[in-house]
Structure formats: structure tokens, C-alpha cells
């Protein structure tokens, strides 16, 4: 099952966003629930992909990689990476990816500081609520961001928009870019038409498994003529629409919200409209005034050992006592979802 959050262009728009079957979307839409079936792929080896000129090549310890996708050539002299670089620290981490379709316009968000500022703003908000942060993947003290260009056009990917998670996770795993101790946040910068108005996608508990959450930077809802608000934060201490969207989706991958929560409503909560994981968002308040588990009884610091609790997540720093991986983590890291377009083998 996929978790999807749709946001409006401005707070003043006041359009009601409603959740159905674990998906947050424009009211009146009929989201389709998807389930990723877990399976254990056979191990195969292939020649490593060649990094494009100007790109940071894979480290010598990088596993062999199938030669798929397109060369990551870019019109820039700034350094960038097409692989996960050697980590500054060990442990469970969140890795960021900037992805383009084959015909996508490159906004250089991985090297112009925008994704890094967005990620820092997200952690600033979380730290203000919990005193903890998500542990990000860094290399040489900088946020490690992988750049990828997919071998499909934006139109081809848009035709399978409900399966963008599967496509991206499939690609990351068969090219040796996915690691067992990481979650992946993909800023996808290709035009995507979604009848539901989705701006973010992620697998949700209890049936959904996956390591990849996707932010649709150019998502568009033709039914209401509304694009996803391509408006990034301009400050590391201000959390905006995109930051709230991806944090919402990241929490889904961490097991939030569990069915054991007293206010559970299709992988969301229904006890307060300003909760980060509420099942709908009406646009009448700033993301700065959102709660992280209103009442602390559903998914954060509720103290119940038998229910997923963000406070015990192994992806947090400082590392909490009794830290736990997300539910079904072994299934998640073994699973390689199929390529919905069938071209990446």
C-alpha cells in the first residue's frame, strides 16, 4: 500500500485534502491502494556502470553494477555523485537522491544547496518536537546526495505514476546503490500527472514495505488544475510544504502509524487536524503549527512496547535506548519491487 500526501499551492487556497485507504489526496478523489509483494531475488553480477565525466565515481568497494540507465552527463563544472559515497558514520541513515527522467530539465538541486537546505529544515522541525534528528547520510561532512537520470521519459513514468516508488527502488537496488541500513528520499523532478493530486508517495504500514519515499516536484492534478507547490524552504529553520510532505512519507516507512494506535485511521490518525500524520489537511494553518502525535498516544513516545513508536527508531540520533528498525525490515531489504515499465532488468 502506498502513502500519498497532496498539498496545495498556497495556504490561502483552503482546498480540502482528504485521506482514503491510506492515501492523502484531494477530497473527492478515489486513490488506488497498492501492495508490494516481497520476494527474494537471485544474486547476479554484472559490469559496473561507468560514471559520467565530472561525476564522482563509485568507491572501490562498491558492488558490481549492471550497466543500465543513461549516462549522468550534466552541464555543470560542480562536483556531483552518481553513487552513495563512503559514509562519515556507521549506522542506519537516510540517503537523499535527485532523480530526473531521460528528458527532464536539470535544476541541479543536489549541488545548488536546495535539497540540503530542505533536508535540514525537516530535521529542524523534528528536533524542535523531540530533541532528536533523523540520522542523515553524509560524506566529508556534507549531505550525501546521489544524482540519477532514469532511462524513461517523463511521459512514460507519468503513465505509471502510482508505481514510481517501485520503479525507483528497483533501479536503486539492481544497480547496487541501495544499502541495507538506509532509507531513500527521492526528489523526482519530472512532470507527473496524477488524477488524485499526489505530491508524495511512500509504502505504508502494515502491509507496505519499501526503502524509498518519493517527492513529486512537478506533480499536477488536471481535475482541479493544481500543481504541487514547487516552493522550497529558503531557510534551514523554516519547514514548508515539501518538507512536511517528505517527513510525513518518511514516518510511514518507519512504521507510522501502526494499527495499534487508538486513533488509527488507515495508516494515519484522526484525533487532531493539525497532526503531521492526520488523514486530511485543509490548508488553514502553517506547517509550523503541526503536532507530532497529538497526545502522544499513537506513534511517538507513547511508551507501549507492542506498538511502533518513532521514539524508538534506529534512524534517530542520538540513538534511543532499545532502538528498533522499522517493522518488517528484513522483508523490506530483501524485496526488489518489479520495474513497472519493464525496461530495467
- Summarised one tens digit per residue, pLDDT across range 171-226 is 999 999 999 999 999 999 999 999 888 899 999 888 889 999 999 999 999 988 98
**pLDDT reported for residue 72:** 60
pLDDT top residue among 231 and 151: 151
Burial class (CB in 10 A: 0-12, 13-18, 19+), 30: exposed
CA angle 240-241-247, nearest 5°?
Answer: 90
Q: Are strands 2-5 and 200-203 parallel, antiparallel or unpaired?
A: antiparallel
3-state secondary structure of 17: strand
Q: What is the mean pLDDT of residues 233-256?
A: 92
Which of 32, 11, 36 minimizes the C-alpha distance to 23?
A: 32
pLDDT top residue among 62 and 299: 299
Please state, for a pLDDT cut of 70, what percent of the chain lies above it.
Answer: 77
**pLDDT reported for residue 281:** 66
Whether the link from the prior residue into 71 is cis, omega within 30° of 0, is no
Distance CA 69, CA 253 (A): 26
- Summarised one tens digit per residue, pLDDT across range 11-51 is 323 223 323 223 334 333 333 322 221 222 222 322 333 33
pLDDT at 343 over 50: yes
- Summarised one tens digit per residue, pLDDT across range 64-117 is 333 344 556 799 999 999 999 999 999 999 999 999 999 999 999 999 999 999
Mean pLDDT (the chain) is 81
**pLDDT reported for residue 34:** 25
Please state, for a pLDDT cut of 90, what percent of the chain lies above it.
Answer: 63
Amino acid at each position: 500500500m502506498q502513502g500519498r500526501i497532496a498539498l496545495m499551492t498556497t495556504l490561502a487556497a483552503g482546498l480540502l485534502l482528504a485521506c482514503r485507504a491510506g492515501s492523502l489526496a484531494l477530497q473527492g478523489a478515489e486513490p488506488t491502494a497498492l501492495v508490494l509483494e516481497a520476494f527474494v531475488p537471485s544474486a547476479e553480477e554484472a559490469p559496473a556502470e561507468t560514471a559520467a565525466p565530472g561525476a564522482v565515481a563509485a568507491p572501490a568497494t562498491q558492488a558490481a553494477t549492471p550497466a543500465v540507465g543513461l549516462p549522468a552527463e550534466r552541464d555543470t563544472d560542480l562536483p556531483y555523485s552518481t553513487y552513495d559515497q563512503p559514509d562519515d558514520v556507521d549506522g542506519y541513515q537516510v540517503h537523499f537522491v535527485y532523480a530526473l527522467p531521460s528528458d527532464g530539465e536539470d535544476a541541479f538541486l543536489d549541488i545548488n544547496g536546495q535539497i540540503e537546505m530542505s533536508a535540514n529544515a525537516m530535521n529542524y522541525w523534528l528536533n524542535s518536537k523531540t530533541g532528536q534528528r533523523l540520522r542523515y547520510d553524509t560524506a566529508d561532512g556534507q549531505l550525501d546526495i546521489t544524482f540519477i537520470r532514469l532511462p524513461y521519459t517523463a511521459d512514460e513514468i507519468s503513465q505509471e505514476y502510482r508505481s514510481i516508488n517501485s520503479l525507483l527502488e528497483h533501479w536503486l537496488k539492481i544497480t547496487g546503490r541501495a544499502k541495507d541500513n538506509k532509507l531513500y528520499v527521492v526528489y523526482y523532478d519530472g512532470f507527473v500527472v496524477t488524477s488524485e493530486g499526489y505530491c508524495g508517495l511512500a509504502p505504508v504500514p502494515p502491509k507496505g514495505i519499501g526503502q524509498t519515499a518519493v517527492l513529486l516536484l512537478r506533480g499536477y492534478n488536471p481535475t482541479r488544475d493544481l500543481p504541487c507547490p514547487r516552493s522550497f524552504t529558503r531557510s534551514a529553520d523554516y519547514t514548508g510544504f515539501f518538507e512536511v510532505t517528505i517527513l510525513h512519507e518518511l514516518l510511514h516507512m518507519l512504521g507510522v502509524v501502526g494499527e495499534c494506535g487508538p486513533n488509527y485511521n488507515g495508516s494515519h490518525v484522526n484525533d487532531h487536524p493539525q497532526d503531521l500524520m492526520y488523514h486530511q489537511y485543509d490548508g488553514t494553518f502553517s506547517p509550523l503549527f503541526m503536532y507530532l502525535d497529538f497526545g502522544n498516544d499513537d506513534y511517538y513516545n507513547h511508551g507501549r512496547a507492542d506498538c511502533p513508536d518513532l521514539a524508538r527508531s534506529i534512524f534517530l540520533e542520538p540513538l534511543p535506548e532499545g532502538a528498533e528498525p522499522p517493522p518488517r525490515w528484513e522483508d523490506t531489504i530483501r524485496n526488489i519491487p518489479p520495474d513497472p515499465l519493464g525496461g530495467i532488468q
